[in-house]
Structure 1
Amino acid sequence: MTRPSTEPLPAPRRSWRRLVQSFAGALLASSALVAHASDWPERPIRLIVPFPTGGATDVISRLIAESAAKELNTNIVVDNRTGAGGTIGSGEVARSKPDGYTLLFTTSSTHAIAPHLYKSLPYDAEKDFTPIAHLGDAASVLLVNPSVPAQTLPELIDYARAHPDELNYASSGNGTIVHLGTEAFLNQANIVMSHVPYRGTGQGINDMLGGSIHVLLDAIPTGMPYVKSGQLRALAVTGPQRSPLAPDLPTFQESGLPGYESVTWFGLYAPAGLPDDIRDKAYQAFAHAIQDPNVRSRLQTLGVDQPRSTSREDFIALVREDSARWQSLIKLTGIQIQ
């Protein structure tokens, strides 16, 4: 009786041919990716801004993108994809191909606040994006109606404690940084005010001028004209230092609230998986854009300060720190958006 052989059968030549072809294909794909990355950009770049046209983020993004496009020798087309507090546009970028032709210009709202406010998001703020650069910061100013008998922040706090059911404050909507920044102030000062949410601070300003709103955190460039005209009173700014647009106004920290800060940061992202050399090219172009004297001057008039650092590592650390701070406040106050 003949026993079956235990020697392995030789692999068919067709299998070897397929293996060689697969290996060659992988090499070609790899070399094509490298060539693609080194030649980027070869066509216009789409910069998604997840907030409305004409708003502060839109205006700032277009200003910076125009300068960055010159350095990259291509067009950067701003595409406003709005809705759900910026999370719809951010989700679209997260699902995009990581080839450098879809970028995201966004704020702390989508990456430091939204992950703790919404029960579900169309993206993971850390895993689904490649952070590129921190491009600016914008503080706010605390405005009060002249009917409020307070000339300073400590006087406002004392008045609110003595009249716990009297004052209300406006915001640009539930879960916005205006809402959270005010709640952080109330929590640290241990005072109570009623929240009146609007679809934007412009509506809140109108009611404030009419006397039905008492307190509002607003962008410095839009709020200060009402102060200069005598229609509203400004008490303090929310940044870590005084604003060049209102140098006589103290910060919250100078006014007796140590550690208080509420600043909107602006940053550039790409989908996760972006090749490093494309990331570095994009970083260089946008970081150089905010150093351009004309761009810097115009950003200052918009209330946007230069970041202390634009490096990717510092940007990642900033977002994580900011995220942890807002997460703590949201848990403390129980604020949530469905």
Structure 2
Amino acid sequence: MPAISIWRAASAVFALALASALAVTTASAATTWPARPITLVVPYPPGGPTDIVGRVVAQGLGEVLGQTIIIDNRSGAGGNIGAEMVAKSAPDGYTLLLATTAHAINMSLFANRTYDTQKSFAPVSLLTKGPLVIVARPDLPARNVGELIALAKSRPGKLTFASSGNGQSTHLAAALFNSMAGTQMVHVPYRGSAPALTDVMGGQTDIMFDTMLSSMPFVEGGKLRAIAVTSAKRSPAAPEVPTVAESGLAGYEATAWNGLMAPAGTPAPVVQRLSDALRVVLGRPDVQAKFSAQGFAAEWMTPQDFGRFVGDEVDKWAGVVRASGATIN
């Protein structure tokens, strides 16, 4: 046999052996996973809505998988710091990201990113989805959307809205409101919902478009006033609170979501096991009740469906970013 044929034959045998070894390694990893604690990176501070969702999901996943899930709060840069950390992590299923609407928004908002929401991660499942609620400091002289618009127009550049950070849904939902209502409320970004809400309650800022999960307890306690929800229909968690659209700003709608992602390249069997575990967790009545009481719906998706959902969100929010003129270098 000619030397070149021998070389080709040897190369083919080596390639086949390597592929077989990798397949065995992947299958073995999936079989033994998880063999140690898993880190769930929450890209926001403790106490905010994303952190609350993360802790509920972490507890449920830990019980189903029989392994400890450690919450690692890595806040900053509109969720980018935590996302970049996970994107650079080993794709072994031991470092996960609690992704949010912001990670779809950031694709068009931030000029400089070191990750791509659709390419740097393996989608696992949606976790929760729900409306935002416009909350105001109790002494704000506006009790509904019509009065808020009138007040803002009478004080152009004076009324302020807090957000959980530049480019978050809590920011762009208000930017969309400004655009559609013709108002000029000023954006005041914070490093998460918890400190933002604290300043609204303290009167340092006027209003906030926040998740119901973190805001409604303060509304019920009389520390905030709910003006409207941002969904197309009223929320079962607060049926007495009208929608923005029915209150005079027709066509307005904005929702927030949380989902689970792993680094790109994570073995498919590991992603599938995570997906299967989440289906159990999100189907539990106690978990559904915890989210429903605060305006979120627990919603499971297959990895494939969640990937398509994220792609649609990236496209949708890119239009909002362009219309708002917002950009961050």
TM-score interval for Structure 1 and Structure 2 normalised by the shorter chain: 0.7 to 0.9
- In the superposition, relative to structure 1, how do residues 15 and 57 fare at CA in structure 2: closer, same or farther (>3 Å)? same
- In the superposition, relative to structure 1, how do residues 147 and 125 fare at CA in structure 2: closer, same or farther (>3 Å)? same
Q: From 50, 53, 56, give the equivalent of 1:57.
A: 50
Any unmatched runs of 5+ in structure 1? 1-7
For normalisation by structure 2, the TM-score amounts to: 0.86
Asked whether the 8 Å contact 1:51–1:86 carries over to 2, the reply is: yes
Structure 2 distance, partners of 1:227, 1:10, is 80
Structure 1 distance, partners of 2:204, 2:15, is 71
The Cα RMSD (Å) is 2.9
Aligned-pair CA distance for 1:62: 2.1
Structure of greater Rg: 1
Structure 2 distance, partners of 1:202, 1:53, is 8
For normalisation by structure 1, the TM-score amounts to: 0.84
Check if 1:99 corresponds to 2:82: no
Asked whether the 8 Å contact 2:109–2:327 carries over to 1, the reply is: yes
Check if 1:314 corresponds to 2:305: yes
Which residue pairs with 1:174 in the alignment?
166
Aligned-pair CA distance for 1:183: 0.8
Asked whether the 8 Å contact 1:52–1:82 carries over to 2, the reply is: yes
- In the superposition, relative to structure 1, how do residues 204 and 93 fare at CA in structure 2: closer, same or farther (>3 Å)? closer
Asked whether the 8 Å contact 2:161–2:205 carries over to 1, the reply is: yes
Alignment-mate amino acid for residue 311 of structure 1: T
Which residue pairs with 2:40 in the alignment?
47
Which residue pairs with 1:241 in the alignment?
233
Asked whether the 8 Å contact 2:48–2:192 carries over to 1, the reply is: no
Q: Deviations over 1:160-213 (max 9, x none)?
A: 334435533233333232221111111112222223334444555455455553
Check if 1:114 corresponds to 2:106: yes
Q: Deviations over 1:241-296 (max 9, x none)?
A: 32333220012232233442222211011122233322221101012101112222
- In the superposition, relative to structure 1, how do residues 335 and 102 fare at CA in structure 2: closer, same or farther (>3 Å)? same
Aligned-pair CA distance for 1:126: 0.9
Structure 1 distance, partners of 2:58, 2:308, is 24
Which residue pairs with 2:272 in the alignment?
280
Asked whether the 8 Å contact 1:65–1:286 carries over to 2, the reply is: no
Structure 2 distance, partners of 1:231, 1:82, is 26
Aligned-pair CA distance for 1:133: 0.2
Structure 1 distance, partners of 2:201, 2:54, is 30
Any unmatched runs of 5+ in structure 2? none
Which residue pairs with 1:151 in the alignment?
143
Structure 1 distance, partners of 2:278, 2:51, is 15
The 5-angstrom pairing of residues 119-158 of structure 1 reads: 119-145=111-137, 147-158=139-150
- In the superposition, relative to structure 1, how do residues 161 and 52 fare at CA in structure 2: closer, same or farther (>3 Å)? closer
SS of the residue corresponding to residue 179 of structure 1 reads helix
Check if 1:289 corresponds to 2:281: yes
Structure 2 distance, partners of 1:31, 1:216, is 52
Structure 1 distance, partners of 2:122, 2:90, is 12
Aligned-pair CA distance for 1:221: 4.6
Aligned-pair CA distance for 1:118: 1.6
Structure 2 distance, partners of 1:42, 1:210, is 46
Check if 1:90 corresponds to 2:83: yes
Asked whether the 8 Å contact 1:48–1:89 carries over to 2, the reply is: yes
Structure 2 distance, partners of 1:16, 1:55, is 60
Aligned-pair CA distance for 1:11: 5.5
Structure 1 distance, partners of 2:305, 2:2, is 58
Q: From 28, 32, 54, give the equivalent of 1:35.
A: 28
The range that moved more, 170-179 or 200-209, is 200-209
Alignment-mate amino acid for residue 30 of structure 2: A
Q: Deviations over 1:11-38 (max 9, x none)?
A: 5979866764554344233333233334
Structure 1 distance, partners of 2:185, 2:305, is 36
Identity of aligned residues (%): 38
Structure 1 distance, partners of 2:307, 2:70, is 26
Q: What is the number of residues matched between the two proteins?
A: 329
- In the superposition, relative to structure 1, how do residues 155 and 61 fare at CA in structure 2: closer, same or farther (>3 Å)? same
Q: From 306, 322, 328, give the equivalent of 2:319.
A: 328
SS of the residue corresponding to residue 246 of structure 2 reads coil
Alignment-mate amino acid for residue 286 of structure 2: N
Alignment-mate amino acid for residue 320 of structure 1: G
